[in-house]
Amino acid sequence: MPKLSGKCLCGNISFSADTEIIRVANCHCSDCRAATGAAYGTLVMVDEDAVHVTGTPKIYKHKADSGSDIEKHFCPDCGSQLFGQNSGRPKVTSIRAGVLDQTSEVRPSVNVFLDSKIESTPIDQNLKGFPRMPG
């Protein structure tokens, strides 16, 4: 079971988790692109009860295309996006891969929302791919 840890850019919010990784996904949806400022977001999904946070992230709430309630947790000081929660996946927290100290644990197994990816983004053909979010 990996021990995960990380922090935001300024270090005011940190976290640790001693848990199995449920899934690592590259998400190409327009929300992830806008929130991260990157071509896609890589999400490391874990049991939400295993994540222990020091500091108080700010939370931005919105609706997904599916109708699920989405929360994005980020540092109010430096703006680093840290975590996400989706009402369609109860008890799961997604950790943004870029804030993890254990980069060797970031091994995506799937690409989602390929129908909205940036055209020039290269895709690893060895990973499963879905045009939207699979059920």
Tens-of-pLDDT digits for all 135 residues of the chain?
679 999 999 999 999 999 999 999 999 999 999 999 999 999 999 999 999 999 999 999 999 877 889 999 999 999 999 999 999 899 999 999 999 999 999 999 999 999 999 999 999 999 999 998 876
Q: Where are the domains of the chain?
A: 3-117
CA atoms of 83 and 95, how far apart (whole Å): 5
Is-above-0.95 flag for pTM? no
CA atoms of 23 and 61, how far apart (whole Å): 23
CATH-assigned architecture of domain 3-117: Beta Complex (2.170)
